[in-house]
Structure 1
Amino acid sequence: MSALALVTGATSGIGRAFADRLASDGYDLIAVGRNTARLDELVAAHPDVTVRPLAADLSTPEGIDAVAAAAADAPVDLLVNNAGVAHYMPLADLPAEKATELVNVKILAPTLLTRAVLPGMLERSAGTIINVGGMIAFSGPAPSSVMPRRAVYGGALAHLLAFSQLLAAELEGTGVRVQALLPGVVATEFHTRQGMDLSAVPRMSAEDVVTASLRGLELGETVTAPGVEDASLLDAVFAADLAAFGGQSPQLATRYNG
């Protein structure tokens, strides 16, 4: 029996690159997307494996429930939580419905889809979960001069990073692997959907992002940053996180006295 991968946002960008690579490696696919024509094209592009198209909108509770049900009913070996939405603006300008969609797609959907596949993975003592975020997860300390503003978007990606790290620790020794995949600027449709022209900006290909992800799994990485050459930079960030966490005390810090 072929291994089975479920890929969200499978019809374009990083998701399509994952779908193509995994299909070429012999995986059967559950391909999730909103564009039925593109889903049909993906099916036609890979006649040598079984590609099950699943049209669903992960910005809605109904869409999340439909995909979670499919994930729970199938022996998913690899889950790629890739779907995204291009709601990239200051909070004061972000309509409430778009904020809800963003949280649904980048926080709620990965959480509930991961929860859906975990029982089967734990029973089989094998499985992989890839949560696609971005380097913006590290941008919280950036000064106000940094544009564009993106509090909800950046906060959602930071959630994916911490979620992946903590989940990896929870699952240590179970045979289930977790990866936070954090690309930088990638040559996809994401920015054009926001009306942003980044044609003059150097961008990584979606195919290279997938290559980094799969190699990162081989290297045992929980956090894979495809464009960061010096991995010690990531180690320093995480060491500082743990130092701050461990540096707390039940006593009020002296700077708050007086």
Structure 2
Amino acid sequence: MSKLALVTGATSGIGKAFAERFAAEGHDLIVVGRRTERLEEFAAAHPEVAVRVVTADLATSEGVDAVAALCAREPLDVLVNNAGVAHYMPLADLPADKARELVSVKVLAPTLLTHAVVGGMLERGLGTVINVAGMIAFSGPADPSVMPRRAIYTGTLAHLVAMSQTLAAELDGTGVGVHVVCPGVVATEFHSAQGLDLSAVPRMSPEDVVTGALRGIELGETVSAPGVEDYDLLRTVFSADLAAFGGQSPALASRYRTS
């Protein structure tokens, strides 16, 4: 029996590259996106596998609920939470409706789709959840000289990293894996949708992002970083996180006490 993968944001970029890779490996697919014509073009180009097209806007409650129902109902082997929106600007400049859309697509949707799929995966004793974040998740401590600023966007990706790490630990030994891939700048429509021309900037291909994510899973990495050659850099970050977490106590730290 063919494996079944559901990919959100499958109309272009990293999501389409994941769908292409899974189709090449013989997976049946549920491809989710806002542009029906692109989804249908993908399905027509892959008659060798069963491709179901689902038009849904994950910025809306209706879209999230519809796809979550699919995740709960279908025997998914793989869920890829890839959908994103190009709202990449300082918080003060980001309209409230766009902030809501960003949080819905990159925080609420992955959270609820993962919640919906995990029960069935646990019953079957197998399954993989792949969340698509980015190295910007680690950029929070950057000083004010680092531009552009993008507080909400950074926060949503940091959420995906922390949620994936914690959920992977929760599901350890169950046969269900959780992973998050953190690419840097990727050659997709993300930046052009904001009117930015990055053609002169070195960028990773979506196909390499997918290769890195899937190889990272084989290597046992919960967090994969396709553009980071020295993985010890990430291990250092994770060790420092745990050291800070473990260094707390009920006593007020001395630097906070008045003299």
Q: Shorter-chain TM-score: what band?
A: over 0.9
Matched, 1:202 2:202: yes
- Residue matched to 2:72: 72
Structure 2: distance between partners of 1:246 and 1:61: 38
Q: Match of 1:105?
A: 105
**1:65 & 1:100 partners in 2: Cα distance?**
17
In structure 1, what is the Cα distance between the partners aligned to 2:114 and 2:62? 16
How far off its partner does 1:167 sit? 0.3
Aligned equivalent of 2:120: 120
Q: CA deviation at 1:149?
A: 1.1
Instruction: Name the counterpart of 1:37.
Output: 37
SS of 1:190's equivalent in the other structure is coil
Match of 2:147 in 1: 147
- Residue-pair matches, total: 258
* Corresponding residue for residue 257 of structure 1: 257
Q: Deviations for 1:4-36, whole angstroms, at most 9, x for unmatched residues?
A: 000000010000000000001000000000001
Q: Distance in 1 between matches of 2:241 and 2:250?
A: 19
Which consecutive residues of structure 1, in runs of 5 or more, have no partner in the other structure?
A: none
Q: Compute the displacement of 1:119 (Å).
A: 0.8
Is residue 50 of structure 2 the alignment partner of residue 60 of structure 1?
A: no
Structure 2: how far apart are the matches of 1:196 and 1:139?
A: 20
The residue number in structure 2 matching 1:215 is 215
Which residue does the alignment assign to 2:2? Answer: 2
Could you tell me how far apart the structure 1 residues matched to 2:171 and 2:3 are? 21
Coordinate RMSD, CA, aligned = 0.5
The answer for unaligned runs of 5 or more in structure 2 is none
Post-superposition CA distance 1:44-100 (Å, at most 9, x none) = 110010000000000111100010011111000000000000000111111111000
State the alpha-carbon separation in 2 of the partners of residues 220 and 237 from structure 1. 17
Q: What TM-score does the superposition give when structure 2 sets the normalisation length? A: 0.99
SS for the counterpart of 1:178 is strand
1:177 maps to which residue?
Answer: 177
Give 1:168 shift.
0.2
Distance in 2 between the 1:219 and 1:213 partners? 10
List per-residue Cα deviations over 1:93-118 (Å, max 9, x = no partner): 11111000000000000000001111
**Cα distance between partner residues in 2 of 1:226 and 1:67:** 28
What is the SS of the residue equivalent to 1:226? coil
Secondary structure at 2:113's aligned position in 1? Answer: helix
Residue 243 of structure 1 is matched in structure 2 by 243
AA paired with 1:220? G
1:212-247 CA-to-partner distances (Å, cap 9, x unmatched) read 111111111100000000000000000000000000
Structure 2 Cα separation of the partners of residues 45 and 214 of structure 1: 23
CA distance in structure 2 between the partners assigned to 1:257 and 1:122 by the alignment = 48
**Counterpart Cα distance in 1 of 2:256 and 2:221:** 39
1:111-169 Cα offsets, whole Å, 9 max, x none, are 00001111110001100000000000000000111111100000000000000000000
Which residue number corresponds to residue 46 of structure 1?
Answer: 46
Q: CA deviation at 1:38?
A: 0.1
Q: What is the rounded CA distance, in whole Å, between the counterparts of 2:247 and 2:115 in structure 1?
A: 32
- Secondary structure of the 2:230 match is coil
TM-score (norm 1): 0.99
SS in 1 for 2:5: strand
Q: Secondary structure at the match of 2:226?
A: coil
Distance in 1 (alpha carbons) for counterparts of 2:228 and 2:246: 27
